[in-house]
Chains A and B, each alone.
Chain A
């Protein structure tokens, strides 16, 4: 059913009894044209396959319930403040899609372009941020350099005269912000389901059927499902699932923690990052501060982290906003990351015909969701990458054409 102000009014007046299920619980059919593994980027891919390429005989397989994986574990930030060509264009495409997403999906995804401020604390850091801002503006992305006094207008409660890390200014992307992540999963699921896509929950892939170098389908805990094309979008578990098809990839799985405090009145109006450590924060509409920092730094599939990083994140937060010290943390959790060897994603075909890879998002997969889905749908439908994702090909490591935004080299836990 179509959501509108009128339907809201009508159902409000009739006891909200008229709402129908947003998507149906599909049983897997024996075969499909395309199978997508993973109910995150896979949902977006399914939507764009149906919407832009007319391919609707599609199943999305999610091993648990919808929204249980990384699409519901991130800190909901969207931005396109990248430095390197390749990254800038791709994430800006995602930003453009975010801007129209609620209308396109007819679902309130709560896209809030509240602006992101990257605070800097020294002259060299200012130079680096000026360079980044200029690169963004050259690529048609919005960027503004804020002076110390301008930052003070936005963040009057920040510690400007911190002895070690005084705030000297900030790079701001006004169009950056946050999106409600559950609504993204639900909105894409509903829109894809509307167009005939089957969303199969609690369906875990346990193997691939590959004959003559060509994929024939997947084995799951709910039986074999056939398909000539299979897209793998299971960031965090990619190595494990790809190994079922015999692939070895330039990935390590790491854990990243996130935190939410008790709800308070509006305090942080933007997304803010601390420049002298790693701490970032935004405030949810419910009032809780949502924040995080660096990944834990060791290989992990545990979906939970350890205390040294909690301490580090808290220290960064207090150096920026001392007033946070009395807030109580309500929840913390961990999500799994595909850390690629250059810190950038991989979107490509594989050596197995009909098997496509969407992985390596590191800690930045959520903001990419719409562009990732759109590009992955194009890759699967046309069997060749669009220009937007040519920099993300799998063979770039062998070719030496790394996309190393942080300049850290092939050490996964440093990206």
Chain B
């Protein structure tokens, strides 16, 4: 498995660190039902067998956070993009 970093090109997996699913959003602690929302956010995972959007950190390269769409059944990577859009670009 190699990841094609938007800055650095295709690089070895050993340069990257895994965080987990990219769809997790920290809930608003002031909102109603925040306790349940935080429980879901911290502990509950979809854990799909199939395409999963996830966050990887390119610590051995450009130190960008990447959003990688990868199939957990065969490790095939469909797309890689910067987790945060670049300044000045849409």
Chain A residues in contact with chain B, CB under 8 A? 237, 239-240, 248-253, 297-302, 306-308, 311, 341, 397-398, 410-413
B44 in contact (CB, < 8 A): yes
* Residue contacts A-B, CB under 8 angstroms, 21 given: A240-B47, A240-B49, A248-B46, A249-B44, A249-B47, A250-B44, A252-B20, A253-B47, A253-B49, A253-B72, A298-B54, A299-B21, A306-B1, A306-B75, A307-B13, A308-B12, A308-B14, A341-B43, A397-B43, A398-B39, A411-B20
**Contact of A299 with B44 in the complex, beta carbons under 8 Å:** no
B5 in contact (CB, < 8 A): no
**Contact of A252 with B39 in the complex, beta carbons under 8 Å:** no
Among B12, B14, B47, B52, find the residue whose CB has the most chain A CB atoms closer than 10 A: B47
Residues of A within 8 A of B1 (CB): 306
Chain B residues in contact with chain A, CB under 8 A? 1, 12-14, 18, 20-21, 39, 42-49, 52, 54, 72-75
Q: Kindly identify which residue among B14, B20, B39, B48 contacts A412, using a CB–CB cutoff of 8 Å.
A: B20
A207 to chain B, nearest CB (A): 16
Measured CA separation A249–B40 after assembly (Å): 9
Measured CA separation A372–B75 after assembly (Å): 32
Residues of B within 8 A of A250 (CB): 43-45
Residues of A within 8 A of B39 (CB): 397-398
Residues of B within 8 A of A301 (CB): 49, 72-73
Measured CA separation A252–B44 after assembly (Å): 9
**Contact of A311 with B14 in the complex, beta carbons under 8 Å:** yes
Measured CA separation A250–B24 after assembly (Å): 13
Q: Kindly identify which residue among A252, A306, A311 contacts B45, using a CB–CB cutoff of 8 Å.
A: A252
Measured CA separation A300–B72 after assembly (Å): 5
Residues of A within 8 A of B72 (CB): 253, 299-302
Give the nearest-CB partner of A340 in chain B. B43
B25 to chain A, nearest CB (A): 15
**Contact of A239 with B13 in the complex, beta carbons under 8 Å:** no
A40 to chain B, nearest CB (A): 18
Inter-chain pairs besides A301-B73, A307-B13, A341-B43, 8 sampled, C-beta below 8 Å? A249-B47, A250-B45, A253-B47, A302-B73, A302-B75, A306-B75, A397-B39, A412-B20
Measured CA separation A297–B49 after assembly (Å): 16
Residues of A within 8 A of B52 (CB): 299
B32 to chain A, nearest CB (A): 18
Residues of B within 8 A of A298 (CB): 18, 54
Residues of A within 8 A of B45 (CB): 239, 248-252, 412
Measured CA separation A249–B47 after assembly (Å): 9
Residues of A within 8 A of B75 (CB): 300, 302, 306
**Contact of B42 with A410 in the complex, beta carbons under 8 Å:** yes
A177 to chain B, nearest CB (A): 33
Q: Kindly identify which residue among A239, A297, A308 contacts B47, using a CB–CB cutoff of 8 Å.
A: A239
Residues of B within 8 A of A299 (CB): 20-21, 47, 52, 54, 72
Measured CA separation A65–B74 after assembly (Å): 22
Which 3 A-B residue pairs are closest in the complex by CB-CB distance?
A239-B47, A308-B14, A250-B43
**Contact of B43 with A413 in the complex, beta carbons under 8 Å:** no
Residues of B within 8 A of A253 (CB): 47, 49, 72
B41 to chain A, nearest CB (A): 10
Residues of A within 8 A of B44 (CB): 248-250
**Contact of A251 with B47 in the complex, beta carbons under 8 Å:** yes
Measured CA separation A249–B45 after assembly (Å): 6
Residues of A within 8 A of B18 (CB): 297-298, 413
Residues of B within 8 A of A398 (CB): 39, 43
**Contact of A252 with B74 in the complex, beta carbons under 8 Å:** no
Residues of B within 8 A of A410 (CB): 42-43
Measured CA separation A413–B18 after assembly (Å): 8
Give the nearest-CB partner of B52 in chain A. A299
Residues of B within 8 A of A413 (CB): 18, 20
Give the nearest-CB partner of A413 in chain B. B18
Residues of A within 8 A of B43 (CB): 250, 341, 397-398, 410
Residues of B within 8 A of A302 (CB): 72-75
Measured CA separation A249–B14 after assembly (Å): 29
Give the nearest-CB partner of B40 in chain A. A248
Measured CA separation A412–B52 after assembly (Å): 16
A1 to chain B, nearest CB (A): 41
Among A250, A311, A412, A413, find the residue whose CB has the most chain B CB atoms closer than 10 A: A250
